[in-house]
Amino acid sequence: MPSLPTVPSAQSAPLDVLGVPGEINLDYAASAPCARAAADAVAELLPWYASVHRGAGALSRRCTLAYEQARQTIGDFFGARADDHVIFTRNTTDALNLLARAVPAGTTVVTFAGEHHANLLPWPRGSVRLPVPSDPAGAVRDLAAALTELRRGSSPALPVLVAVTGASNVTGERWPVAELARVAHRHGARIVLDAAQLAPHAPVDLLTLDVDYLAVSGHKLYAPFGAGVLIGRADWLDAAPPYLAGGGATSHVGPATHDVTWATGPARHEGGTPNLLGAVALAAVCKALDEADQGALAAHEQALLARLRGGLAALPHVVELRTFDPDAPRVGIVSFVVAGWDSTEVATRLAAEHHIGVRDGLFCAHPLARRLLSEAAGRTGRRDLPPTALRASIGLGSTAAEVDRLLAALAELG
């Protein structure tokens, strides 16, 4: 196995991540680099690679054990309750689609228009989409009003599910999850947290936040692609049709077409041979993060974020996108536009001339991104802002030198 390089410039960062020397990844929000802990866990297991839950051999038994231990570690990391299911999925999109198929018939799902498409599009017809609020308190007020209205108009027996993000993938702004959960529960609703962007930046604990379900992507959490989880209340999940019908999802199959008894527990929704290496890699990252000094991780990211935002604010031709007050709590994500410049052109130049990777576009959150772009034009009075944006995002492998390289490159465009 060739030795995998740590990015030399990232040696001062609090998490050891892999990378290619000379290439700067400021696109953690899309996919974070792989943590060395994840790569090591995969390398250790590779010689043992064999089927999970399907074989009697020693290799197979070790892989089955590793898979189930990964489930336990990840569940513990996210504060799963004793009776929650921890279901492996491909990513957050997959997890939210699974839940969308598992909600009981007649469920109304309530979301905000500021969500990522993964938390807007899977929900059934009749879902309620609340406008983007102008501050976190407004989100709580709007949700309370909507749930009151909904309860007035519908049978209290019909379930309601609130679906919210922990942190916006466009602005990095954090949402008041615990307060939203309190409001949801006060109205007899359940709540699912899209933690795709929050989990890589802050501890996310189901119990503390008191959310019913949580969805996460491994590839944004320093693990490789292809492993995510849905964690949450067992009753809806055990009563729902299997998300993936097939081997492993059944406890009995008879000769007649419909003679099948589906498994309960996570297996019901994990049909087919599972992604063992993804699960083990994700668990290794959870363990590494759990053992790290949380204060130091947060301080590192917040210092870099302040440097990035401060540097951008000092560039007169750069305009930041935001929903809330500039001082609202955020994770390490900033979207912005460069006046007079097409965003794709800027991203292409950053890559070609400076070896810096950022994202451009509308970030799979079209309603929010379009609204923020038009607000930015209104706020600044500038008529030369482009119709799409740029996004720089940092994480535990990022360094001040990388942020400074971006700022210097953007300064040249003024």
Exposed/middle/buried for 185, CB within 10 Å: 0-12, 13-18, 19+?
A: middle
Helix (H) or strand (E) run with residue 228 in it: strand 228-233
Least spacing, CB of residue 109 vs ligand PMP, in Å = 15
Cβ proximity to ligand PMP, 169 vs 399, nearer residue: 169
Contact mark string toward ligand PMP, 141..180, x via CB under 6 A: ------------------------x---x-----------
Amino acid letter, 275: N
CA-based nearest residue to 33, from 225, 192, 203:
225
To the query of whether residue 63 is one of the catalytic residues in this protein, the response is no
Task: Answer yes or no whether residue 281 interacts with ligand PMP by CB under 6 A.
Answer: no
Cβ proximity to ligand PMP, 174 vs 300, nearer residue: 174
Task: Answer yes or no whether residue 93 interacts with ligand PMP by CB under 6 A.
Answer: yes
**Concatenated DSSP letters of 342-376:** -HHHHHHHHHHHH-EE-EEE-TT-HHHHHHHHHHH
Task: Answer yes or no whether residue 107 interacts with ligand PMP by CB under 6 A.
Answer: no
Mark the segment that binds ligand PMP (CB under 6 A) among 50-58, 78-86, 112-120, 397-405.
Answer: 112-120
Mark the segment that binds ligand PMP (CB under 6 A) among 68-76, 111-119, 204-212, 309-317.
Answer: 111-119
Cβ proximity to ligand PMP, 92 vs 335, nearer residue: 92
Total residues contacting ligand PMP by CB under 6 A comes to 13
Cβ proximity to ligand PMP, 194 vs 270, nearer residue: 194
Whole-number Å distance between alpha carbons of 275 and 398: 28
Task: Answer yes or no whether residue 364 interacts with ligand PMP by CB under 6 A.
Answer: yes
Contact mark string toward ligand PMP, 189..228, x via CB under 6 A: -----x-xx-------------------x-----------
Task: Answer yes or no whether residue 360 interacts with ligand PMP by CB under 6 A.
Answer: no
Range 220-257 burial, b when 16+ CB lie within 10 A, else e: bbbbbbbbbbbbbbeebbbebebbeeeebbbeeeeeee
Whole-number Å distance between alpha carbons of 84 and 181: 17
Least spacing, CB of residue 364 vs ligand PMP, in Å = 6
Binder among 91, 107, 111, 335 for ligand PMP (CB under 6 A): 91
Is residue 161 within 8 A of residue 110, CB to CB? The reply is yes
Range 194-208 burial, b when 16+ CB lie within 10 A, else e: bbbbbbbbbbbebee
Cβ proximity to ligand PMP, 181 vs 331, nearer residue: 331
| Catalytic-role residue among 34, 63, 286, 364 | 364
Whole-number Å distance between alpha carbons of 168 and 64: 36
Q: For CA atoms 299, 302, 305, 311, give the dihedral sign.
A: negative
Mark the segment that binds ligand PMP (CB under 6 A) among 97-105, 115-123, 258-266, 389-397.
Answer: 115-123
Mark the segment that binds ligand PMP (CB under 6 A) among 88-96, 272-280, 308-316, 349-357.
Answer: 88-96
Whole-number Å distance between alpha carbons of 171 and 178: 20
Task: Answer yes or no whether residue 7 interacts with ligand PMP by CB under 6 A.
Answer: no
CA-based nearest residue to 221, from 95, 388, 119:
95
Cβ proximity to ligand PMP, 111 vs 217, nearer residue: 217
Amino acid letter, 154: S
Whole-number Å distance between alpha carbons of 332 and 391: 10
Least spacing, CB of residue 95 vs ligand PMP, in Å = 8
Residue 360 β-bridge partners: 390
> Residue numbers of the site for ligand PMP (CB under 6 A)?
91-93, 116, 118-119, 165, 169, 194, 196-197, 217, 364
Q: Which active-site residues does the annotation give?
A: 364
